[in-house]
Amino acid sequence: MYSCADLKKGIKLMIDNEPHVIVQFDFTKPGKGQALYKCKLRNMITGSLFDRTYRSGESFEPASLEERDMQYLYRDETGYVFMDQKTYEQTSISEEVLGDDHYFLVDNMEVKVLLHNERGIGVTLPNFVNLRVTQSDPWVKGDTAAGNNKPATVESGYTLQVPSFVEQGSLIQIDTRTGEYVTRVKE
Amino acid sequence: MKEPNWALARKRQALTERARIIQEIRNFFIHRGYLEVETPHRIPANAPEAHIDIVASGPWALHTSPELAMKRLLAAGYEQLFQLCRVWRESERGQYHLPEFTLLEWYRAGVDYHALMTECMELFFVLVPEGKLSRQGRMIDLSMPWQQLTVSEAFSRYAPMSLQSSLTADRFEEVLTGEVEPHLGKLQPTFLTEYPTSLAALARTKPGEPLVAERFELYIDGLEVANAFSELTDPHEQRSRFDAAEETRRASGKAPYPLPEKFLTELITMPEAAGIALGLDRLIMLLTDSDSIDDVVAFTPDDL
């Protein structure tokens, strides 16, 4: 069982017998008062989003889902299509159900697909992915401070902050758990 | 192509500002005749709080605040004290919370909590001489005096239920954080004052009003920055407040904590005094226009 202290973004819980994932998490606590754990949850079957607030002392059943190694193939009108490389079985997961994870899918990437009644309802991504920067303002001459940053958009449409020395066309590594820049990747 | 850790490198500006603010704070208090003290981080007993969990350290615990040691110094005759120190509170982690964070506490004999409101304003006057704070594109006016609002007034102004009904329904925190706090300190800082005594275990009650404690919280841009009391100096009353906090812990299935007996013994010689704990990391967030506490410390637990 999980306690409130285990709650954070990405944790999967069973609520009313259906798997849910925490997509946004806020811890609030007036200095001397009770802690409140404010969660935005996504029903992993229907994709529907809702808010719920929990208090210390509550416990949660982890969602234990079957995982299968699959390869990401392509996107079509049904959503994102994955294939089991042993059985050639395919499953498609809609963008709604995948949530922000779709930003980190790269063609032919191997992921673990989470299954519920034989249907794909989510993925476990590798911790790091490499994506190419498709849009970012050029480096400003004279801006040499190592800590300076600017926004950049990568090939999947995802936007993040990167160091000012990262150029359009660079391949960068992103931590899929935080969505943050890690380093440039040598090609 | 091995790059330096950018997540750390990009904090240089905030960390430089943090160091400057800490120096300014030291100068402010030393200049006013306050004595800077250091008290142990690892102690046998904290003040029992219904909703603050300790981090154990062997048979002892890390302090959740230096409050008890500061008050024992007051009781021994030290009249003006301040301390900047790390404190630990189990499982408090969020956009504005770290389980290990920095408190600025100061205590003054012979005054009540009104004197600390004035001192908060004067401290900000020194830290922000331009008198305005820019927060995510909005301006907060720091010119004195700042707004004062009682908890009861704030609930009737901003919440769908009264303070009393929120307490009866055990929904005080939910309504405070969800409905009231987002409105506080938006145009100018707000002192939220006159807390129910049940929510102020170490504060003196108002003369003739045993259900209202002389406690205030300072809010700036919806963020709770500091908590202050006119200190309770009656050892019997203090012991029964601690017992009540222990009872709340037991009732919610939590282990009671050992009582700070030396503090309770020495409280009898403590003069009338007021004390305040200010979250230094949050103060730095406000002064650097940062949106997360992670941005103003070098390392969070997740970075280790």
**CB-nearest partner of B227 from A32, A182, A184:** A32
Amino acid at B304: L
Q: Is residue B1 part of a domain?
A: no
Q: Which CATH architecture has domain A66-124?
A: Beta Barrel (2.40)
In this predicted structure, the answer to whether residue A139 has a pLDDT above a threshold of 80 is: no
Among B276, B268, B240, B220, which residue's Cα sits nearest to residue B82? B276
pLDDT in tens, chain B (304 residues): 578 888 898 899 999 999 999 999 999 999 999 999 999 999 999 999 989 999 999 999 999 999 999 999 999 999 999 999 999 999 999 999 999 999 999 999 999 999 999 999 999 999 999 999 999 899 999 999 999 999 999 999 999 999 999 999 999 999 999 999 999 999 999 999 999 998 888 899 999 999 999 999 999 999 999 999 999 999 999 999 999 999 999 998 888 899 999 999 999 999 999 999 999 999 999 999 999 999 999 999 999 9
Residue B290 near residue B120 (C-beta atoms within 8 A): no
Structure tokens at A67: 């995982």
B51·A146 Cβ contact <8 A: no
Q: Which residues of B touch A148 (CB under 8 A)?
A: 10
Residue A90 CB: number of other CB atoms within 10 A?
Answer: 13
Alpha-carbon gap, residue B152 to A35, rounded angstroms: 21
We report the CATH number of the domain holding residue B27 as: 3.30.930.10
In this predicted structure, the answer to whether residue A141 has a pLDDT above a threshold of 90 is: no
The pLDDT score that the predictor gives to residue B274 is: 98
Alpha-carbon gap, residue B181 to B200, rounded angstroms: 18
Q: Which residues pair with B205 in a beta bridge?
A: B213
Q: Which residues of A touch B177 (CB under 8 A)?
A: 28-30, 36
CA-based R_g, chain A, Å:
19
Structure tokens at B266: 């020495």
Residue B177 near residue B217 (C-beta atoms within 8 A): no
The pTM of the full predicted model, rounded to 2 decimals, is 0.91
- For residues B165-202, one letter each, b for 16 or more C-beta atoms within 10 angstroms of the residue's C-beta and e for the rest, the string is ebbeeeebbbbbbebbbebbbbebbbbbbbbbbebbbb
Q: Which residues pair with B292 in a beta bridge?
A: none
Residue A24 near residue A11 (C-beta atoms within 8 A): no
Domains A66-124 and A128-184 share a fold: yes
Alpha-carbon gap, residue B252 to B157, rounded angstroms: 31
Residue B301 CB: number of other CB atoms within 10 A?
Answer: 9
Residue carrying the six token digits 């899929």: A176
The pLDDT score that the predictor gives to residue B192 is: 98
DSSP secondary structure, B281-296, as one string = HHHHHHHTT-SSGGGG
> What's the pLDDT tens digit per position in A40-97?
999 999 889 999 999 988 999 999 899 999 999 999 998 999 999 999 999 999 998 8
Residue B241 near residue B47 (C-beta atoms within 8 A): no
Among B216, B266, B303, B283, which residue's Cα sits nearest to residue B71? B266
Angle at the Cα of B176 from the Cα atoms of B104 and A14, rounded to 5 degrees: 105
The pLDDT score that the predictor gives to residue A56 is: 84
Alpha-carbon gap, residue A119 to A141, rounded angstroms: 52
Number of domains in chain B: 1
Structure tokens at B185: 């300190």
Alpha-carbon gap, residue B152 to B280, rounded angstroms: 27
Q: What is the 3-state secondary structure (H, E, C) of B64-89?
A: CCCHHHHHHHHHCCCCEEEEEEEEEC
Among B109, B133, B81, which residue's Cα sits nearest to residue B290? B133
DSSP secondary structure, A73-130, as one string = EEEETTEEEEE-TTT--EEEE-HHHHGGGGGG--TT-EEEEEEETTEEEEEE--SEEE
Q: Which of residues 214-243 of B touch A (CB under 8 A)?
A: 217, 224, 227
Domain range A2-62, CATH class: mainly beta
Range of the domain at B212: 6-303
Residue A32 near residue A38 (C-beta atoms within 8 A): no
> What's the pLDDT tens digit per position in A94-126?
998 898 899 999 999 999 999 988 889 999 999
Pairing of strands B60-62, B138-141: unpaired
How many residues are recorded in chain A?
187
The pLDDT score that the predictor gives to residue A143 is: 60
From residue B284, how far is each of A23, B45, B97, B287 by CA, in Å? 28, 30, 13, 5
The contacts of residue A186 (CB under 8 Å, 6+ apart) are: B1
Residue B212 near residue B199 (C-beta atoms within 8 A): no
**CB-nearest partner of B172 from A28, A33, A182:** A33
Structure tokens at B7: 């997540």
Q: Which residues of B touch A34 (CB under 8 A)?
A: 51, 173
Q: Which residues of B touch A175 (CB under 8 A)?
A: none
Q: ipTM score of the complex?
A: 0.86
Residue of B nearest to A53 (CA): B174
- DSSP3 helix / strand / coil % (chain B, rounded to 5): 40, 25, 35
Q: Is residue B116 part of a domain?
A: yes
Q: Which CATH architecture has domain A128-184?
A: Beta Barrel (2.40)
Q: Which residues pair with B229 in a beta bridge?
A: B215, B275
Tell me, yes or no, if B93 comes closer than 8 A to chain A by beta carbon: yes
A34·B4 Cβ contact <8 A: no
Q: Is residue B104 part of a domain?
A: yes
Domain boundaries, chain A: 2-62, 66-124, 128-184
In this predicted structure, the answer to whether residue A144 has a pLDDT above a threshold of 80 is: no
